[in-house]
Structures are given as C-alpha cells and as structure tokens.
C-alpha cells in the first residue's frame, strides 16, 4: 500500500530575473479576522474574501533570497517565534533550499515589524541568526522604532509588539547596520521607499538586463481586499493615509508597466502581476516556471 504523505514539501521557489536568481522562502502564515482593517466597509471586505473563496483572513508571510554577482542577500527574515506557530519557518525553508545562513552577506529589511525582523536574532541565547550579514534598512526605521517619545504615544500592545520586539531583534546588529535613504543597496537591487505603512517602509526593485521584479514589501496585507479597495489599510499602519497613497502609487506603477511583483504577504510563491480593472485591480499569479535559464 502506498503511504500518504504526512508532511508538506518545502515552501521554496526560484525565479530568474536576468542574471539574478530570486528565491521565495515561505515563513508560513498568520490567521485572523478582518477587524484589523481600516478605511473599508468590513461587510464589503468580508464579501471580497468570500468571492475569493477564502473563509477568513490568511496572511502569508514570505522572505526572498537574492543571488546576485556572487553575493547573497535575504530580504526580511520572517517572524521567528514571535507570532503564531503557523509561521516562523524561514530557517527551515532556507535549509530546504540548501542555504547556510552563514553564507548570507546582507539582510535587507523592508521595515521593522515582527513578521519581517523577528527572524534576525535567537532571543534564547542572543545569537545572530545571520552572523555574517550586514543589516540594511531605511534610515527612518530605527529612527522611529528606537524613539522613546514615539513609543510613549503607542498603546501597550504596540509598544511590545512593534517597538520593543523590533529593538531587541535589531540591536545585536548595531555594529553591522547600514542605513539608506534610496538608491542601489545591493548589486542589482534598488531601494524604492514606499513610506506610510511604517516611516521607512521600502520596496526593493531587482533589475538585470531587461528583467525586473518589484519586491513590494507590505504594499498589501490582505491582497483579496486591498486590490479591490486600494484605500483599505491596517490598524498597524503608522500613517494610514500615507500608506494608502503609497499603495495606490505602487499599484499604478506596476500595473501600467506590467512589472512582475512579489510581496511579503502575497500567497506563496508570490510572483504575480497586477492588472487594472476599472477602479480596482486584480493580482494574477504567474504560472510555474521550470527552467532556470
Ligand atoms: Zn508585514
């Protein structure tokens, strides 16, 4: 009798962008309700989920490896053990992809939220999980999350989950942190600040030859709803209006040019294009690509 598989295959997928290879690494997913959404009629948002055959909000969490010019970067690090047991699988999926975390020379952070930065440091022993990596992020991120005055304005949950969690994960890298405002931050990778979700939230444009990939960070958290209602935001957007403006700007840019996108909260393996549909948009996931050349 053939035994049924008892475990899922690894959440890893390669996509070539010119001479660069980008690998989606799944961290897992976070389940919840739509109560965290803002600036949207929740009845309509729930209908959008149902129309997409999703009984509830499932937020996929991804990180992306970038092999470029003999170097190796990881964009975001997943959620470590800070959030739900259904997430925190970046290390396991890196191993499945044959990647030794010691070989990663750069960690690019889209922003300092726990589903992105909580995979940096093992808090049980203070060890860096990427011991040879330089940590690279927008200068507004540590400026905001390490600011006690800003922290005092936040409620207790946000202080713990965003300010303190971010600080303890990032601080061990303080002697190997590089801050940017914009520009090329890794070979073939340009920072595209997309401020609002957090003060330094940044997308990364990967370009090689005529190929491009926009890793758009947290442009969306609930793709089924926010492509229908681009003004819809999240309770944990630092600046709801700026986040919505940044999202609309990003949607315009990638849909007008048909740019391949990937995101931290697009469903695995995330590589998609965004099509304009009158006042709304639709994400079209790319078909599986076997070839690596
Ligand atoms: Zn996020």
275-287 pLDDT per residue, tens: 999 889 999 999 9
pLDDT digits over 202-231, tens only?
999 999 999 999 999 999 999 999 999 999
Cα(112) to ligand 1 centroid in Å equals 9
- The verdict on whether omega for the bond into residue 206 sits within 30 degrees of 0, i.e. cis, is no
What is the C-alpha to C-alpha distance for residues 183 and 208, in angstroms, rounded to an integer? Answer: 15
Q: 114 by DSSP, 3-state: which?
A: helix
DSSP assignment of 241-273:
HHHHHHHHHHHHHHHHHT-EEE-TTSSTT--EE
Cα(226) to ligand 1 centroid in Å equals 14
Cα(20) to ligand 1 centroid in Å equals 25
Q: What's the pLDDT at 290?
A: 86
Q: What's the pLDDT at 58?
A: 96
Cα(18) to ligand 1 centroid in Å equals 27
Cα(258) to ligand 1 centroid in Å equals 24
Cα(110) to ligand 1 centroid in Å equals 9
Q: What's the pLDDT at 292?
A: 79
Cα(291) to ligand 1 centroid in Å equals 30
Strand partners, 178: 136
Q: Which residues contact 271 (CB under 8 A, 6 or more apart)?
A: 13, 15, 24, 213, 260, 261, 262, 285, 286
Cα(270) to ligand 1 centroid in Å equals 14
- The DSSP symbol for 181 reads S
Cα(1) to ligand 1 centroid in Å equals 43
Neighbouring residues of the ion ligand 1, judged by CB less than 5 Å? 115, 218
Q: Is the pTM of this model over 0.95?
A: yes
Cα(290) to ligand 1 centroid in Å equals 29
Question: What strands lie across the sheet with 189-193, from one edge to the other?
Answer: 183-186, 189-193, 202-208, 211-215, 260-262, 272-277, 280-285
What is the C-alpha to C-alpha distance for residues 203 and 215, in angstroms, rounded to an integer? Answer: 6
Cα(247) to ligand 1 centroid in Å equals 14
Cα(263) to ligand 1 centroid in Å equals 9
- Residue numbers in the chain where pLDDT is lower than 70: 293
Cα(4) to ligand 1 centroid in Å equals 34
- The DSSP symbol for 83 reads S
User: How are beta strands 57-68 and 20-32 bridged, if at all?
Assistant: antiparallel
């Amino acid at each position: 009798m053939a035994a049924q598989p008892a475990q899922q295959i690894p959440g890893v997928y390669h996509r070539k962008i010119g001479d660069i290879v980008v690998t989606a690494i799944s961290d897992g997913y976070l389940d919840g309700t739509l109560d965290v959404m803002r600036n949207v009629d929740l009845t309509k948002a729930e209908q959008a989920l149902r129309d997409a055959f999703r009984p509830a909000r499932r937020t996929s969490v991804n990180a992306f490896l970038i092999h470029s010019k003999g170097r190796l970067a990881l964009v975001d690090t997943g959620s470590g053990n800070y959030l739900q047991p259904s997430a925190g699988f970046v290390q396991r999926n890196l191993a499945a992809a044959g990647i030794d975390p010691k070989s990663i020379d750069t960690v690019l952070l889209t922003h300092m939220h726990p589903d992105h930065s909580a995979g940096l440091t093992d808090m049980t022993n203070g060890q860096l999980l990427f011991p040879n990596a330089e940590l690279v992020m927008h200068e507004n991120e540590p400026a905001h999350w390490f600011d006690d005055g800003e922290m005092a304005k936040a409620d207790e949950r946000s202080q713990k989950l965003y300010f303190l969690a971010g600080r303890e994960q990032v601080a061990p890298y303080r002697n190997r942190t590089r801050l940017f405002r914009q520009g090329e931050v890794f070979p073939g990778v340009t920072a595209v600040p997309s401020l609002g979700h957090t003060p330094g939230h940044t997308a990364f444009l990967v370009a090689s030859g005529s190929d491009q990939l926009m890793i758009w960070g947290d442009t969306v958290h609930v793709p089924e709803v926010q492509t229908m209602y681009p003004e819809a935001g999240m309770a944990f957007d630092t600046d709801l209006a700026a986040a919505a403006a940044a999202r609309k700007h990003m949607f315009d840019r990638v849909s007008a040019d048909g740019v391949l996108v990937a995101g931290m909260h697009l469903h695995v393996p995330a590589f998609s294009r965004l099509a304009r549909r009158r006042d709304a948009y639709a994400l079209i996931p790319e078909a599986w690509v076997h070839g690596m050349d």
